[in-house]
Structure formats: structure tokens, C-alpha cells
Structure 1
Amino acid sequence: MGKIGKGILGGVSGKVANVVGANWKGIDYIRAKPLSVRNPRTDLQVNQRTKFALALRFLQPNLNFIKVGYKNFSVKKSQFNSAMSYILNNAISGTYPNYLIDYSLALLSRGSLSGALNPVFDLSTAGQVEFSWDDNSGEGSALATDKVMAVVYNPLKGESVFITGGALRSDLNQVIQIPNSYSGDELEMFIGFINDAGTQLSNSAYIGSGTAL
């Protein structure tokens, strides 16, 4: 049994609850008792860790994009944690150990702003990806001054090239330069919009995949 000498402000001797008291060179000090750490590898834990690792590999290259894309969904948690939670709960398919990211359900930005209308991409020029879309300015919350947000994700290399405030919605296209080392790699494309004030965002849309020249 531990003892607290001289009232609550006195030294602690021994263990009181999860607090351990001791004295060193006449100085009383306390420390929390270390918690026993368990790491049971139950099926549920292994499944969850596998999913987490998969989502982490997808989100890490897009971290700075997510900081903008999830800026309105970071109450009591970081933008990254909010994105991680969304991906884990909505965008992982398959069964252990063959889990996959379902890119069509994976949102890299979230919000109520109107998204891109009929977005497509073009990989016919080496070293670049051209995104294009139809002008839906004036429909819903879409404005001509909204700025495009686009991601070129390279799963093989675990890298992304992206912009978070590019061409205007009314410009109808945006070219993103990509490294020559991406040649022959399968790339995944995402697009969204942010308003001119930077306060409203659209859900990102997955456009599809293609092989870089």
C-alpha cells in the first residue's frame, strides 16, 4: 500500500492507484506506473492493420492535397485522420489479405460545392496529363471562378502530382506535368473544385486510370 505523507502535497511512498512514489537525493517524485502492453494478433486486429497500411500508402503521397481537401472536415481531428477514417469506412474492398482501394469511392476532397461536369483526361502527350471538363457554371453552387483541384496518383511508385488551385471552372482544361519516370506506369486520376475564397470544396471525382507514355 502506498502512503501520501503530509497530506496531498506531501511525498508519495510506494504505489497509490497507478501512481508510484519514490525519493531520490531527498527529492520526492511520482511517476505513472507503466501499463502492460499487449499486442494480440487476433484476426480482427490483423484485418484492421492490413486495411490501415493500405489506406496509409494511398493517403501519404496526397497529404498536402488532403490538408486542403478535408479542411472543412477536421473538427476535433486532423484532415489526415478525417481522410483516413473515410477511406477505411467507405473505400476498401475485398477480403483479407487481398484488400484493395476502390478509387471510385475514395474521396480526396469533400464538400458541397458542385463538382466537375463530364470530366475526362488525356495521356496522349508524354510527360503530362490534360484534364478537361464541361462548364457547369451557374448550375447548383458552381461558379465560373471556382478553381480546379486535380490529382495524378502513381500507385506503383507511391507518389502523386497534384494541384489545389489551378485553372478556373470556365477554362475547361488543366495540364499537369508528370515526371518522365512515370512512363509505362498506370496512373489514377481525381478531380474536384474549390471556390475562389477557398472556403467551399466539392467532393473529388475519380475519372479513371491510364498508362503514361
Structure 2
Amino acid sequence: MAKAPNGPLGPLNGKLSNLVFYMLNGQPVVRTIGDPGKPSRNQLANRQAMSVTMDMVRMISEFTNVSFELEAKGTVRNAHNLATSYIKKHAIKGEYPNLSVDYAKVILSNGTLPGANDLKIEKNEKGVLVSWDPSGWYNDIVMILLYHPLKKTARPVINACRRDAGSYFVDLHSELVEEPIEAYICFRAANGKAISDSQYIGNLNGAVESQEEIAQKQKYALVKQRFDAVEADYLKQMEDNRGNPVDSKAFRNLEREYEVLKNKLEHLPGKPG
């Protein structure tokens, strides 16, 4: 039963049929409950996009809690909502079921402070050196994020140094130095009242495939190999019979397998390119 403590025109609170009413950050919210039925392809794509997004958002929350603090202030949204929204909307690439993050398009902050030019990143056996043109608002605080997509871990440095330092060395475990690294930077005013847009510094060690992606490609290759053999047999029998299906149980089974494999390949992850 839903209650209307503020009168019939006020926000409800509680359950009414398959709807639940409640307050979130001072705003009335309603959501549905119960079995939504079999999801559509668009719904499955949206779920995968959210899953891919959350794999990153969960690991970078220490950084985004600060970088999105100003933008979230005074709104019903929080830093987590903003990070999720920006990555899912702007940085997801591919088609379902092969969605992934386009790390060069990830947004980690929005603001009015100027960014930096001449961004560079290089590594040695002990870590990563990030450098930039130090000119501009000299006492801004530098924020750096190193994200490791293969390990799904992150190294946030919230108060790295001042902008006029021009560079900062991030210590890393030797294992992580050789892992793929996606690097980002932004600048925060010394008084905490302004921030810059985040900037993508670049990638180190290449976009190495995960074990899941490797397994998907191997599975796709096996199915494609079988399909090619079945297709060749199917098309030859059709050609020999002047383009007409052969009237036999064996051919009907072959045709059925051909259609099943063809449909499977259209939706199977791991397709080259």
C-alpha cells in the first residue's frame, strides 16, 4: 500500500500494484517491480553497455568522487551517477554483444579551468612518468588516473603535485608496468572551487585482449570453420540439383544445420574486426 503523507497531490511512498514510490535525494522516484519478461535485443545491449561501464566505474570511484564533486553539488545526481552516465553515453563502442570501452573518449571531469598541452607518458621498470606543459594557473592541483583494463584495477593520484611542476612520477608494481595502461589527467583549483575537463594522455603497452576476448575469438573460429564446411556441402548439393532443395532427409538435416550455424555466427561474439 502506498501512502500520500503530503496529500493527494504530493509524492507517494510505498508500493502500489507493480510500482514502488520513494524519495531519492529529495526527489520523488517511481520504479516498476516484478518479472519484466524476456528482454529484447536492445535491452540486452543496454545491459551489456551498463555492465562494461560499471567494470570501469567501480575501479575509479576514488578519483571520480573528487573529479565530479563540483558538478554534482547542488543537484540530485552524485559523482557515481555522473561517471556512469558520461562513460556509458560517450565511451562505449562496438555492437552488441561485442561492446567495450573506447578509453580515448572517457570523460572524468568537466569544468572551466584550462587543460594542459604537450601531454606525454613514458615508463620505466618502476612506474610511469606523466608530463605536461606547466604554463598557466601555476598552483592548480594535478590529478592523475592510471587505469589497467586487463586487471580491472586503477591507480588514482588525487593530489599529485602543482601544475607548475610539469611532471609527476607514479610508482607502480613491476607487474602493472607491463600491463596495458590508460592514462588521464585533470587540474583542480587550489581552493577546490574549480576543475578542468579531463584529458586522455594515452595508452601504454597496447590494448591487449582479455582471456574472455581470446576465448570468444577461438569459439567463433571453430563455429566458422564448421559453417564453412557445411555451407560448401549445402551450396554444392543445391547447385547439382539446379538450385532446388534435394528431397532427402540427409539434405534437410544439412539445410537445418546450415541455417542454425549461419544465425549463430551473426550473434556470436569474437568476430574478427
With normalisation by structure 1, the TM-score equals 0.77
Match of 1:76 in 2: 76
The structure richer in helix per residue is: 2
- Within a 5 Å distance, the mapping from 1:139-154 to structure 2 comes to 143-154=137-148
Q: How does 1:172-187 map to 2 (within 5 A)?
A: 172-187=166-181
Q: Secondary structure at the match of 2:88?
A: helix
User: 2:62–2:156: 8 Å Cα contact kept in structure 1?
Assistant: no
Q: Please state if 1:38 is matched with 2:36.
A: yes
Tell me which amino acid in the other structure corresponds to 2:126: G
Q: Deviation of residue 39 (structure 1)?
A: 4.2
Say whether the 8 Å CA contact 2:119–2:130 is kept in structure 1. yes
The aligned runs of 1:104-119 (5 Å cut-off) are 104-119=104-119
Question: Any idea what SS the aligned residue of 1:207 has?
Answer: strand
Larger Rg: 2
Alignment of 1:38-187 (within 5 A): 38-74=36-72, 75-123=75-123, 125-137=124-136, 143-187=137-181
Structure 2 stretches lacking a partner, 5+ long:
1-14, 18-31, 207-273
**Contact 1:147/1:194 (CA < 8 Å) preserved in 2?**
yes
Q: Which whole-Å CA distance do the structure 1 matches of 2:172 and 2:147 have between them?
A: 10
Q: How many residues align?
A: 176
Percent sequence identity is: 25
Shift of 1:94: 1.2
Q: CA RMSD in A?
A: 1.9
For residue 140 of structure 1, what is the aligned residue in structure 2? none
Deviation track 1:131-189 (CA, whole Å, cap 9, x = no partner) reads 1011221xxxxx10001111111001100111112211111001111122214311111
CA distance in 2, matches of 1:97, 1:18: 36
Q: Residue 114 of structure 1 aligns to which amino acid in structure 2?
A: P
